[in-house]
Amino acid sequence: MTETEKIVIIGGTSGIGLAVAQRAINESKEVVIIGRDSERLDQAKSILGDSAEGYIADAGDSRALALTSLRRLDQPSMWSLQPPITVGLCH
């Protein structure tokens, strides 16, 4: 059994980040989007549907970003960048 690649997109609530999230979902990847604006996050999640998880954090605040990953995501070790995890920053 192969693991599904999980894509974490920081800045994935609009623009290029949202487009990357849509493409990843179309390629059957697990998608996590992170953005700083709750309204945009809600809009992005409505576009992406149940195929994406979404969390609030500001990419400019590394401490808040780390705390979000530890508190919200089910696999805090995903931030270690071990395969099959891909992290992208779209800012």
Please name the residues in contact with 73: beta carbons below 8 A apart, sequence gap of 6 or more.
32, 53, 55
Per-residue model confidence (pLDDT) at position 69: 65
The region that residue 69 occupies, defined by phi over 0 for left and psi between -120 and 50 for alpha, beta otherwise, is: alpha
Per-residue model confidence (pLDDT) at position 76: 43
Confidence of residue 64 (pLDDT cuts 50, 70, 90): confident
Place of tokens 């919200």: 72
66 pLDDT more than 90: no
- Domain annotation for the chain: domains and CATH numbers: 6-89 (3.40.50.720)
Please name the residues in contact with 3: beta carbons below 8 A apart, sequence gap of 6 or more.
84
Mean pLDDT of the chain: 77
